[in-house]
A and B are shown apart, each in its own frame.
Chain A
Amino acid sequence: MSNQALPRPRFNAPEPERGPSEQGSKAALKIETRTTPLLDGRVSEIPDEVFGWAMRLCGLAVVALLGLIVYQLVVGSQLSWHAFGWKFFGQSDWNPVSDQYGALPFMYGTIVSSLLALVIAVPLSLGVAVFITEMCPISLRGILSFTTELLAAIPSVVYGLWAIFVLVPVLREYVQPFLATTLGWTGLFSGPPYGIGMLAAGVILAIMIIPIISSITREVLTVVPQHQREAVLALGATRWEMIRMGVLRNARAGIVGAIILGLGRALGETMAVTMVIGNRPEIAKSLFAPGYTMASVLANEFTEATGDLYLSALIEIGLALFFVTIVVNALARLMVWSVTRGQPARSIA
């Protein structure tokens, strides 16, 4: 290793590679015979300035886009905000006929379906990430990470389609009766097994966020320095103990970040959820019962909103959804950065 790093004595410059020697000499001849200088020293700086500012404008446009989104949402929701104020988020009455709007059932549905998705997705994604980075043979590694990421490429509406015709019947026929008999006493799994409802939404969301959580977790696990693993192994740990103490513990913040990023995606997911959650603005304890989410109510009712106040109430739900996902995402990014930035990827090489 160190031998190669030492400067080797060099006696003559390496011969430049030439194609047909004829061409080379011709080119050389041309350069020699050129009499006018390539540049006359009067290069205009105006195009450079224009280009630079055009690019800065593009950068600015990205910031402007965010400003535009906030502006549109805030202005659009003014009417509802003045009519209901904070009560909007505490009321569970949603009645377009009497112009009464409360976002509570939708917030409940969004939170419960997303948390349910996390409960299912987190152990699975961590298992996949740990398997791919720590356990599986190198030849499998590429294929596995590619296939799990393929899950992320499927459009949301296709997930919804599959959920309606495959997942929901399976839940209704097998999973829900089983859950009702074994865990029915908790009250979480009671009532008629429709198939469609909160549980179906949670499961399809879980399937959709697994690729996100597992790929970011994988990224975080690979930046855990190799010597951490070696140190734990040298103390006599088994492989699992090495993973638990040497890898997972060091990557904790990053894994939490990955989970929150998955949560952010689940909160805003619209189509697949709308297709299986049942779309009823009620708060029920049972996960078998139909529910409604903030994103679904927008998808279903936005084009049908006849009154100004109705539309404004919907936009306010959009604003709330926007705000929550922004906070969740910013939090997650900071946590992922705290792990991956501090230790550059070089350290594992």
Chain B
Amino acid sequence: MPNTTAASVAPISWRRRVTDHAMTGVAVLTVLLVLLPLFAIFAYLVIKGIGSINIAFLTQTPKPVGEPGGGMANAIAGSMVILAIASVLGVPLGIGAGIFLSEYGRNRYGDIVRFVSDVLNGVPSIVIGIVAYGLVVMRQKHFSALAGGVALAIMMVPTIARTTEQMLLLVPQSIREAAYGLGVSRWRTTLSITLRTATSGVITGVMLAFARVAGETAPLLFTAFGNQFWNWKIGQPTAALSLQIFTYAISPFDEWHRQAWAGALVLIILIVAAVAAVRIAVRHGTLAGA
């Protein structure tokens, strides 16, 4: 008996100890290697971007090649229009699908919808662009903000549906039952009690989807197409910030490269600002208490 005890507490060998420390070192190294590009990207964005943002950039349309100055005002506005269309189309559908999944979809049909929305989430954005092209552009015979909005809306739906479902499922069953017990009908319970309780979570999901599509470029290439001028008609080709960044980045002109960096910084600031604004509105503003 004493023999076995002695064997089991034998000291850890030199080799195993070194391996242990080495692997810890390797793990730390991987973390540093992953953080390096992250910091590099943000540093370049801020350094190169801030120097190029000025009033002209935010108020003017692009100048022809060779002329200095000009800006991306029309692209910023165009992005907002396209995103507004996408949100109007995608958010209600996504939330509706989420309500279906959590309140009516605890069965085989729900499983199908759940699986399909996960599948939709993995469809490459460029393929969604082809679909929106076929759906809208081919019918209208020209590129438009509407087509871009449809493409982005298709991308928003699955994300919103799944997060809404998860948030609604977090609402305790007893709260629903309390409402039923007071004689409140099921639709009223779902909208005014369940959805209301989960509002902040649902909105977070919506903003997640919004932030994800806000920087999308691929599906806009052959739907919104881009535009050098102001355009407020949703049936016409429209500039978008991400498209403009792409065009300028692959161009051979230094002036345009500079503006591409500025555009990238503005794009990220706008996404963060939109998400933050909605968060604050949920917490303090008009939606508070919802």
Chain A interfacial positions (CB closer than 8 Å to B): 38-39, 43, 45, 47-48, 50-52, 54-63, 65-66, 68-69, 72-73, 75-76, 123-128, 130-132, 135, 144, 147-148, 150-151, 153-162, 164-166, 207, 210, 214, 236, 238-241, 243, 261, 264-265, 267-271, 275, 295, 298-299, 302-303, 314-315, 318, 321-322, 325-326, 328-330, 333
**Contacts between the two chains (Cβ within 8 Å), count:** 258
B253: Cβ under 8 A from any A Cβ:
no
Cα separation A47 to B191 with both chains bound (whole Å)? 12
Supply 9 A–B pairs (Cβ within 8 Å), ascending by A.
A51-B191, A63-B113, A124-B30, A127-B30, A162-B44, A239-B20, A270-B125, A302-B129, A325-B123
A47-B185, A147-B35 in contact; A165/B225 too (CB < 8 A)?
A: no
Q: Is the interface of A mostly helix, strand, loop or mixed?
A: helix
Contact check, B250 vs A159: say whether CB atoms are below 8 A apart: no
Contact check, A241 vs B242: say whether CB atoms are below 8 A apart: no
Contact check, B186 vs A59: say whether CB atoms are below 8 A apart: no
Cα separation A155 to B260 with both chains bound (whole Å)? 13
Across chains A and B, which 7 residue pairs bring their CB atoms closest together, nearest first?
A155-B215, A268-B124, A127-B30, A58-B96, A51-B187, A329-B122, A59-B100
Q: A39, A48, A59: which contacts B109 (Cβ < 8 A)?
A: A59
Shortest A152–chain B CB gap in Å is 9
Cα separation A258 to B37 with both chains bound (whole Å)? 21
Return chain A residues, CB-CB under 8 Å to B216.
Answer: 155-156
Q: Size band of the B side of the interface?
A: 35 or more
Return chain A residues, CB-CB under 8 Å to B56.
Answer: none
Contact check, A164 vs B113: say whether CB atoms are below 8 A apart: no
Cα separation A162 to B24 with both chains bound (whole Å)? 31
Shortest B168–chain A CB gap in Å is 11
Contact check, A55 vs B122: say whether CB atoms are below 8 A apart: no
Contact check, A59 vs B20: say whether CB atoms are below 8 A apart: no
Contact check, A61 vs B123: say whether CB atoms are below 8 A apart: no
Contact check, B246 vs A275: say whether CB atoms are below 8 A apart: yes
Chain B residue nearest to A315 (CB atoms) is: B130
Shortest B26–chain A CB gap in Å is 6
Q: B97, B124, B245: which contacts A158 (Cβ < 8 A)?
A: B245
A131-B27, A135-B27 in contact; A162/B222 too (CB < 8 A)?
A: no
Return chain B residues, CB-CB under 8 Å to A153.
Answer: 211, 271
Chain A residue nearest to B19 (CB atoms) is: A240
Q: A47, A62, A303: which contacts B117 (Cβ < 8 A)?
A: A62
Cα separation A213 to B101 with both chains bound (whole Å)? 27
Chain B residues 2 to 37 lying within 8 A of chain A, measured CB to CB, are: 8-10, 12, 16-17, 19-20, 23-24, 26-31, 33-35, 37
Return chain B residues, CB-CB under 8 Å to A50.
Answer: 187
Return chain B residues, CB-CB under 8 Å to A267.
Answer: 124
Return chain A residues, CB-CB under 8 Å to B183.
Answer: 38-39, 43
Return chain B residues, CB-CB under 8 Å to A66.
Answer: 116, 119-120
- Bitwise, B102-136 to A at CB < 8 A (1) or not (0) is 01110001101101111111111111111101110
Return chain A residues, CB-CB under 8 Å to B48.
Answer: 165
Q: A68-B131, A155-B216, A158-B245 are in contact. List 16 more A-B contacts (CB 8 A).
A: A48-B187, A61-B96, A73-B130, A127-B29, A127-B31, A128-B30, A135-B27, A147-B38, A150-B38, A158-B215, A158-B268, A240-B23, A268-B126, A275-B246, A302-B130, A318-B130
